[in-house]
Amino acid sequence: MAKAKEVTMKTSIKYHQDDPWRLSEATFDPAHLGKYEAIFALGNGYLGTRAATEEANTGEVRNTFVAGTFDRLNEDEVTELPNLPDVFQVALVFNGQRLDLNQGKVLDYERSLNLKTGELSRHFIWRFGRNRYRITTSRFVSLARRHVMGQRIEVTALDGDATLKLSAGINGQVTNTGTQHFNDDVKRLYPHHILQLTTKTNESQVNFAITTQHRLSVPDDRLGYVKTEMLRRRLRATYTLPLTKDDPLTFESITTVYTSRDLDVAYKDRASLRRQGYQAALALEKMNFRQLLTESAAAWADKLWTPMPLEIDTDHARDQLAINFARYHLQIMTPGHDSRMNVAAKGLSGEGYKGHTFWDTEIFLLPYFIFSQPEVARSLVTYRYLGLHGARTKAADNGYRGAQYPWEAAWVDDGESTPVWGATDIVTGEATKIWSGFIEQHITADVAYGVEQYMRATDDEEFARTRGNEIIIDTARFWCSRLEWNPDVDRYEINNVVGPDEYKEHANNNAFTNHMAHWNLLQAMQLIDRLKTNEPAEYQRLDERLDLAALRPEIEERLGKLYLPAPNAEAIIPEDDAYLTLPTIDLKPYLTAGRVGALFDDYNLEQVNHLQVTKQADVILLLFLFERHFSKRVKLKNWQYYEPRTTHDSSLSLLTHTNFAADLGLKRKAYSYYRRARDIDMGTNMNSSDEGIHAASIAGIWSMTVLGFGGVRYLDGRLRIEPNLPDQWRQLSFCLWWHGQKLAVTETNQTLKIRNLTGTRVVEIDHAGASVEIPTHDEVLITR
């Protein structure tokens, strides 16, 4: 076996010790384009755009997406978010020489993302020959106006007068890695330098109107020649502008995007969207770039930073930067305005996973929104209710009853959206089949788990009555039909599945899957009993739809006979029926290689399937989610067994290990894992985010901070707060929502202070094995 190749790379990322709101690119390196395009992405949950530079670069990926506007190229492809026409590329030509940072010399370069305001700015001096030009740029996607994006470029000639040719417009020639999702377009040029392109997706027939207005600091009578071009799928304007030495010239573009999927647009046809875009451009003329940016920055403060502060008192500045970075990205990636949409695995920052939604939402992302933005959490779980039709269709197609949720979900009507084939096998040379869409079935229980967590943490009875109860019960119907009877051992089993450990395909009795299915069935049975006793009208409604009278005894019979993998004599829970019998290998060379997937330098997936190698937290995740079901000894023994066998080749793994280690009191190990998870996107691996940021891992930064180290947990219908602060932190303070009450929590290693800010009801929490009441508009101080 060859030693896995270790990766070392130079980095251009810059952290500011005295400013936890700013992340910077210190030098321009074309090898790092993808990293910054993703981590500097801008958005507002409706619109998202990668941070490609203004000037074109080889290897760049210009992506702009509108959430929920999925399209499919043909029957052989799965649906994906289409890449919108680009408005941010601007060509600058000085005295005939095009700006190109790979030529000449670049001085005083820095590009920064202001996490507090959502502004991406860049400044540098470009020297070509004897002439120097100072260039400053700024860009934002408005959080105050969902459809608006803005860009500003300031150019100054430093060594004498010059002539600048500036070309900008709307480029519909961009694709999704070669796939063109738009079939035709209509281009318009209007007075006041307004350009517009309307177009439509091929299969889903979603109409788009992209309108941009150019504004220059040079009066129209001094513009000189303005060349306008209408090309195939593209229109642009080229301005010839005089540059006077040391006199800055500014160019601004204000862009609006509207689609026929928008809930706030009354008329969806293309002509109406065209009028909407043009009228919006005219209305925005009264505000300049800076005013729109200031308005958007105020919205960031009002919607996120002011109402839900989160501060870490530590000498490790990257930790506060990380939580700010995480919450920024959670805000820009989440379409909380529209329950027909959900969070993509890469947010709106790249084409990875085609904009699809996974179990990531319920298990890793939803806790943040439940505790921080419950109205957004409601939208996310409503998406799953709207997807019931697709889930029922998938169950029926597979010969089951009830609702079987898709492993990858897109538009609410699309159903299963997982590709059938993936990367090429290094041994066989053939495409690898992606089994997740067929047999990674724990997603169905995961959805029910997220819905139940939301309902209990928010006390949202209206959602439970109109949506949530039906999801819990119909997913249980699926499991009743999915369980397999094994007469040889007198029990029900769940065979031929993929658990969270995706390196074990076709596993029998994956512990996580079986326990989650059992939980789902138990919740449904208890719910049916509660409804029959306390809400007879609701019981009758669901009985007519789902035949609760027949389902209830069926669930009870399945629960009594479902096999739940339990700790063996050594206290180890078998990940599946075969795992503990498989051979082991030395993983150290692969774990120290510094890159994901190093194992596949020497093995293919079929070979790994027959080794004691785990891709990501599986049994560990089970123990974390159901911590009260297992003893401290079982937890510790399984940690000691599975931790050295886990490659963490999924970005979901490190955060779970952090939280579990914190629960076990393994402070040094927890903080070590935390630092690795914290830096998946924000760290110095300059290729980690090329296809987009890792949405669940981003949410994991909050999870590790508040759930892991903060010790916040929803358990059996109650809120528990049991701080596990690392030694590197002196204090952690944050706000959270529970049963409609906003709590302010301050933790040290000696004290826990909780204040009831909303004050409309008394809140009870669990701490150190006791119940603690927080009175209305009062606080409780606990000495630990």
Picking from 221-235, 272-286, 581-595, 596-610, which range would have the lowest pLDDT averaged per residue? 221-235
CA–CA separation, 15 vs 317, rounded Å? Answer: 9
The pLDDT of 567-583, averaged and rounded, is 98
The one catalytic residue in 55, 416, 502, 505 is 502
Which residues are registered as beta bridge partners of 228?
237
The candidate with the shortest Cα–Cα distance to 394, out of 383, 381, 407, 385, is 407
Assess whether pLDDT exceeds 60 at residue 9. no
Strand (E) or helix (H) holding 188: strand 182-190
pLDDT digits (tens, 9 = 90+) for 154-191: 999 999 999 999 999 999 999 999 999 998 789 999 99
Q: Confirm or deny that 291 is annotated as ligand binding.
A: no
Assess whether pLDDT exceeds 50 at residue 1. no
Pairing state of beta strands 310-314 and 47-49?
unpaired
Q: What is the pLDDT of residue 704?
A: 99
Q: What is the pLDDT of residue 6?
A: 47
- Write the CATH number of the domain with boundaries 40-305: 2.70.98.40
Q: Confirm or deny that 360 is annotated as ligand binding.
A: yes
The candidate with the shortest Cα–Cα distance to 137, out of 53, 196, 240, 12, is 53
Strand (E) or helix (H) holding 657: helix 653-663
Assess whether pLDDT exceeds 70 at residue 98. yes
Residues 6+ apart with CB under 8 A from 471: 381, 384, 385, 388, 403, 447, 448, 451
The candidate with the shortest Cα–Cα distance to 441, out of 402, 471, 482, 381, is 482
The pLDDT of 268-279, averaged and rounded, is 96
Which residues are registered as beta bridge partners of 250?
154
* Residue 570 annotated among the catalytic residues of the structure: no
Q: What backbone torsions phi and psi does residue 248 show, to the nearest 5 degrees? A: -65, 140
Residues 6+ apart with CB under 8 A from 246: 156, 157, 158
pLDDT digits (tens, 9 = 90+) for 506-553: 999 999 999 999 999 999 999 999 999 999 999 999 999 999 999 999
The greatest distance separating any two alpha carbons of the chain, rounded to the nearest whole angstrom, comes to 90
Q: What is the pLDDT of residue 76?
A: 86
Assess whether pLDDT exceeds 50 at residue 493. yes
Query: 4 falls in which pLDDT band (50, 70, 90)?
Result: low
pLDDT digits (tens, 9 = 90+) for 298-326: 999 999 999 999 999 999 999 999 999 99
Q: What is the pLDDT of residue 236?
A: 96
HEC profile of 328-380: HHHHHHCCCCCCCCCCCCCCCCCCHHHHCECCHHHHHHHHHHHHHCHHHHHHH
CA–CA separation, 615 vs 587, rounded Å? Answer: 12
Both tokens of 725, joined, read: 């602060």
- Given strand 162-171, what is the order of strands in its sheet? 97-98, 90-94, 162-171, 234-243, 226-231
Query: 737 falls in which pLDDT band (50, 70, 90)?
Result: very high
Both tokens of 776, joined, read: 């209305």
Q: What is the pTM of this model?
A: 0.96
Q: What is the pLDDT of residue 222?
A: 75
Strand (E) or helix (H) holding 718: strand 718-721
Report the C-alpha dihedral over residues 275, 281, 284, 289, rounded to 10 degrees. Answer: 160
Q: Confirm or deny that 649 is annotated as ligand binding.
A: no
Evaluate whether 44 touches 61 at the Cβ level (below 8 Å). Answer: no
pLDDT digits (tens, 9 = 90+) for 203-251: 999 999 999 999 999 887 777 778 999 999 999 999 999 999 999 999 9
Q: Confirm or deny that 359 is annotated as ligand binding.
A: yes
The pLDDT of 58-80, averaged and rounded, is 96
Q: What percent of the chain has pLDDT over 70?
A: 99
